[in-house]
Amino acid sequence: MLNDPRALFFGHADVSTADDAEQQQLEWKAMLDERGMKGKRILVCSGADDRVVPFAHSRPFVDWLGHASRTWYGEGSMYVESKVYSGVGHALGLEMVQDALRFVVDSLVVKVEVGTKGEVRL
pLDDT of residue 117: 58
pLDDT in tens, the chain (122 residues): 456 666 766 666 666 655 557 888 888 899 899 989 999 999 999 999 999 989 998 899 999 999 999 999 999 999 999 999 999 999 998 999 999 999 998 888 755 444 555 555 55
Q: What are phi and psi of 107, to 5 degrees?
A: -70, -25
pLDDT of residue 87: 94
Rounded CA separation 65/78 (Å): 9
Rounded CA separation 49/86 (Å): 7
Sketch the domain layout of the chain as residue ranges. 5-121
The predicted model scores a pTM of 0.76
3-state helix, strand, coil in the chain (%, to 5): 45, 15, 40
Between the CA of residue 84 and those of 48, 59, 89, what are the distances in Å? 6, 10, 10
pLDDT of residue 21: 77
